Structure 1
Amino acid sequence: MNAALFPPLDGLGRLLPQAARRWPRRIALVTDERTLTFEELDQLASRVAHALSARGVRPGDRVALLSQNRWEWIVAYHGALRCGAVVNPLNVMLTGAELDYILGDSGAKVLLASGERLRAVGAALGSVPGLEQVISFDDADEPAATSFASLLASADAEPFEPVPVDPGSAACIAYTSGTTGHPKGAMQSHRSLVLNCAYTATMHVRTPEDVVVTALPSAHVYGNVVLNSTWMAGGRVVLMTRFDPEDAIRRIEQHGATMFEGVPAMYATMLATPALAGADLSTLTRSTVGGQTIAESVIESWETRTGAPLIELWGMTELSGLGSTHALYAPNVHGSIGVALPGNELRVVSTEDGVTECRPGEPGELVARGPLVTLGYYHDDAATAEAITPDGWLRTGDVATHDGAGRFFVVDRLKDMILTAGYNVYPAEIERVLIGHAGVALVAVGREPDEVKGEVAHAYVVPAPGSAPDAEELTGYCRQHLAAYKVPRAIHFVDQLPTTSSGKLMRRMLRRPDAAH
């Protein structure tokens, strides 16, 4: 590679210009509305950079993005980075009050959003201090909004040279959803974003021949890494607006996908849909799964059906994406999140003192250190000090074990642990058992208060199509595979489970069918 033409990336703002020089006519992105080559993506991002600069956006200013997956979000993201702005990707499930807080806390100067989201939360925008402009990806039916189409039409068509950035400075402020209090803005550096995408592309052996189908939200770190790591290698992304199991299977067939990437619930629902029976998935060479723990039975079923490995990974917002995964040609140990990404460290330490390293197989808290770790929480020194030790270890909040050979195994989230009669019960362990029953399509386990035991586990089950399991049958199945104290006290049958915008199960939102709302 010619170093003069392709210098090392100091930030993702240079990714599309380099990709456009190498693969100008190669298709980069397929959405419901448009198919774009690398050259076209680059030109659109350049126009966005010109338009934002002309409207007063300067290096370091915050630019917020709010919409479902669409090509406009992608070019706005890259255009904002290109002109030196700090991107604030927003979860589409935010309420007006949450949006008001995050935009105010981040000091966002510009918001680019879909017309749908503006109609839903637009009333909150008038009270956001410092928010100067609102731009709608759709027709500007909001009085204060400018249309994205007119923004592009009026922008300079000349290439916009990316603003030089300090790789160690903030490129993105991504707000994490908290169970209590306000969300915290994790500052991701240019270096951490570039390295995460580069290491992911390397570990999964992405190439220009790859076609990746995904419905992961672009605003989520997992979705972001899928997009940009694929483009680093010159591959194509087929981006779904929202996940639908039948549609995902159809797109894998239609586009000859070599990869599918998603969260556990996506694989469980695709395996349960009747559309899978006659589908040709033979073009898949590997898939990836992250976001939550996944049952080995689901991995085995997907690998049997596709004839290709399903690679587990683990990550978090505070790491700009992945923290660990399996290399494609390394042993794919089911149930393991793999090894630390190059140049980064993972450890399992005692939950009591947070320092003592645990022996192989002994559960403790997973901690991470290295260039991927967040710069800290924006305007929240106390939260930063609580999360990151003085010597740089990030407390992840995940309970994990290691095997002494570099591989790690996530047990569950520390905050989701159920303390029943003095025993630690992890919901993920129960979920992994129940999803192995033929009559279960999806399952989530939450806690319920108990006068005698303090807390007990309740399971919420979506039956598989054509199945009608009963609670006694599933309880008996659990007793075959779990210690007595881990067996759920009750099993509730539901039509659907609450999920985040990325498809992860939201255990804290589980509600008994007979509970008052």
Structure 2
Amino acid sequence: MTATLAEFPGLAARKFGDRTALVTDGREFSFRELDALSGTLAHNLVNLGVEPGDRVTLYAPNSWEWIVSYYGALKAGAVVNPINVMLTPPEVAYVTRDCAAKVLIGSRETVAPVIAAGVSGLINVVFGSNVLEDMVPFDALVAEPRSFEPVKVDPNAMCTIGYTSGTTGHPKGAMQSHRAVATNVAMTAQMHMKTDRDVVVTALPCPHVYGNVVFQAGILCGCTLIMHPRFDAAEILASIEQHSATMFEGVPTMYMYMLASPDLEGRDLSSLTRCTVGGQTMPAAKMREVEERFGCPLIELWGMTELAGAGTTFPLYGERKLGSIGIAMPYCEARIADGQDAAKTMPRGEVGELMMRGPIVMQGYWGNAEATRETIEPDGWLHTGDLASMDDDGAIFIVDRKKDMINSSGFKVFPAEIERVVAAHPSVALVAVGGVPDPLKGEIAKAYVVLKPGATEDADGIIALCRHELAAYKVPRAIQFVRDLPTTSNGKVMRRRLADLDERETQ
């Protein structure tokens, strides 16, 4: 791919014209309209002072304004910083400061609390026209059509800084180039055989790399995207039937909710030709049930923010192995490395760390050379942190995680982030966070707390503190007060033995 992401809307407008590109919140947009709207926004962002390389943070739920803002910022030559709408104002403050954002674009419901929390110095563009004094109304920036030629940038230039949870308690910004994201979008679409005859239903968040690849593949391939602002099983099932969707794309939890929905039996899903699932591994038995009930193949994929999207998947036409995350994406390599020596590749069938190399690998972490060196080897191989095995056909099977990351409904949560917040509670002496199995979410976070002498248990207060400081999916779902924590001889907490505390409590 030599095209930059800023060129995607224009290419689609010339090829697909007035065909429907997006249906969301009761409105329809053609490819030509999305191109015109994003061009008009780019023109006005430049007038507001946005220059090539400036960072523009997007903080809003799925909406047509989000997609227009994404391409408008890119057309202006800016670097997009898409952040999860579930992040709290303190988390948004950290991210915007860390990447030195110049502009914050979002809904009034998301931007106003950030301003109130003390985030200052940004140009605040807010969806709609009814905005506060220190906000720029989005509607005014797209009201009068303007022709705009996208700012020319090198395909290898940075286009995105996507923040991912960090082992140090703060997220890290993965820098991606236009070439990396465009290649990932094109190759994922190729593997799943997307065309302009497809109608794709999704509720995946646009800031998430999975959701990003889905909506951009729609623009690139001419699909009609039926985008929901949030997931609701009954609404999604109705949407598939109403729009005669050919694809649904989601995470395992979504499929499990739909399988359990009383609306499933009464819906006609016969238009579906294939579905995709990613974000976390899905039990093979549940995948078979989806295929039986939905009447189409369910293709698993696996990816990371550091890979601009999918790193592995299966092709639509070819052998699929339920329980496997697939094979390496075109133009990319995957291998299983020895856990002690990353230069050594494990024999087929043996477990080691999954590593990836290719044009989709990030440029590094923004402002964090040390973390970049720890994650990317000098020869380009990326440490994924996942333990896996590879069979003789190159199919990869995730076994466990090398790091202590918790995967809850497809969202990656590092214990250190939660521990950093819980430790600030005045009654807490020590805290360790681990993942415990959950039949619906895969895993949930649980905090094990040692109290300070004389302190009283205050689980509600700890949870309240977490809800203020952390996104909802990071908040621990359980607090257990314990006398001590399992540690090594040098005092390091052994998170893998936290489950022993559960067993001790039940004895």
TM-score w.r.t. the length of structure 2 is 0.81
Unaligned runs of 5+ in 1: 1-7, 418-425, 432-443, 447-453, 464-499
1:137 matched to 2:130? The reply is: no
Counting only pairs closer than 5 Å after superposition, residues 144-159 of structure 1 correspond to structure 2 as 144-153=134-143, 155=144, 157-159=145-147
Q: How much has 1:461 moved relative to structure 2? A: 4.6
Task: Write the distance in 1 (CA, Å) between the matches of 2:21 and 2:138.
Answer: 21
Closer, same or farther in 2 for the Cα pair 1:509/1:180, shift >3 Å? farther
Please state how far the C-alpha of 1:414 moved relative to its aligned partner. 2.1
1:330, CA displacement in angstroms? Answer: 0.8
Equivalences for residues 334-483 of structure 1 within 5 A: 334-416=322-404, 458-461=436-439
Counterpart in 1 of 2:64? 71
Correspondence for 1:56: 49
Change (3 A) 1:460 1:302: closer
Q: Aligned runs of 1:75-90 on 2, under 5 Å?
A: 75-90=68-83
Matched, 1:13 2:6: yes
| % identical equivalent positions | 48
CA–CA separation in structure 2 for the residues paired with 1:507 and 1:413? 18
Q: Deviations over 1:122-143 (max 9, x none)?
A: 223544xxx4310111344333
Q: Specify the SS of the correspondent of 2:364.
A: coil
Partner of 1:315: 303
- Residue pairs, 1:229-378, within 5 angstroms: 229-378=217-366
Contact kept? 1:118, 1:142, Cα under 8 Å: no
Q: How far 1:512 sits from its partner (Å)? A: 5.9
2:253–2:440 contact (8 Å) kept in structure 1: no
Partner of 1:47: 40
Does the aligned pair in 1 maintain the 2:86–2:472 contact within 8 Å?
no
Distance 1:247 1:512, change over 3 A: farther
What amino acid sits opposite 2:152 in the alignment?
P
Which residue, 215, 232, 236 being the options, matches 1:227?
Answer: 215
Offset of 1:100 from its aligned partner? 1.0
- Alpha-carbon offset, residue 316 of structure 1: 0.4
Given the superposition, is the C-alpha separation of residues 300 and 237 from structure 1 closer, same or farther in structure 2, using an over 3 Å criterion? same
- 1:484 corresponding residue in structure 2: none
Task: Give secondary structure in 2 for the equivalent of 1:232.
Answer: helix
1:506 Cα shift? Answer: 5.6
**Shift in alpha-carbon separation, 1:380–1:200, aligned structure 2, 3 A:** same
Measured after TM superposition, the shift of residue 29 of structure 1 is 0.3
Matched AA of 2:393: A
CA distance in 1, matches of 2:264, 2:481: 34
Of 145, 149, 161, the match for 1:173: 161
Bigger mean CA deviation after superposition, 133-142 or 66-75: 133-142
The Cα shift of 1:362 comes to 1.3
What does the per-residue CA deviation read over 1:115-164, in whole Å, with 9 as the maximum and x for residues that have no partner? 1112332223544xxx43101113443331111011222x5x23211111
Which gives a bigger RCO, structure 1 or 2 (Cα 8 Å, sep 6+)? 2
**Cα distance in 2 between the residues matched to 1:42 and 1:220:** 22
SS at match of 1:301: helix
* 1:311-351 deviation per Cα after TM superposition (whole angstroms, max 9, x unaligned): 00011000100111101001111011111111111111111
CA distance change for structure 1 residues 505 and 322 in 2, over 3 Å: closer, same or farther? farther
Change (3 A) 1:146 1:455: closer
Residue 165 of structure 2 is aligned to residue 198 of structure 1? no
Q: Give yes or no for the alignment of 1:182 onto 2:176.
A: no
8 A contact 1:136–1:148 mirrored in 2: yes
Structure 1: how far apart are the matches of 2:399 and 2:271? 32
Q: Does 1:99 align with 2:95?
A: no
1:27 lines up with 2:20 in the alignment: yes
* Counterpart residue identity of residue 323, structure 2: G
Give yes or no for contact 1:412–1:427 (8 Å, CA) kept in 2: no
Q: Which ranges of structure 2 fall in alignment gaps of 5 or more residues? A: 416-431, 442-466, 483-507
Q: In the alignment, residue 244 of structure 1 is paired with which amino acid?
A: D
CA distance in 2, matches of 1:455, 1:182: 15
Tell me the TM-score normalized by structure 1.
0.79
Given that 2:129 and 2:140 are in contact with CA atoms closer than 8 Å, whether structure 1 keeps it comes out as: no
Distance 1:241 1:513, change over 3 A: farther
Cα RMSD (Å): 2.6
Letter matched to residue 59 of structure 1: P
CA distance in 2, matches of 1:411, 1:149: 48
Rounded to whole Å, the distance in 2 between the matches of 1:513 and 1:382 is 35
Q: Distance in 1 between matches of 2:138 and 2:435?
A: 48
Q: CA offset at residue 399 of structure 1?
A: 1.1
Deviation at 1:410, TM superposition (A): 1.3
Moved more, 132-141 or 241-250: 132-141
User: What is the distance in 2 between the residues matched to 1:459 and 1:313?
Assistant: 22
**1:9 deviation in Å?**
4.4
Shift of 1:514: 9.9
Return the offset for 1:358: 1.5
Which sits farther off after the overlay, 157-166 or 241-250? Answer: 157-166
The one-letter code matched in structure 2 to 1:399 is L
Residue 138 of structure 2 aligns with an amino acid whose one-letter code is F
Alignment check: 8 A CA contact 1:265 1:505 kept: no
Check whether the contact 1:115–1:139 (CA below 8 A) recurs between aligned residues.
no
Task: Give the structure 2 partner of residue 479 of structure 1.
Answer: none
Mapped partners of 2:252, 2:166: distance in 1:
21
- Structure 1 position 179, deviation (Å): 4.9
* Structure 2 Cα separation of the partners of residues 228 and 320 of structure 1: 12
SS in 2 for 1:274: coil
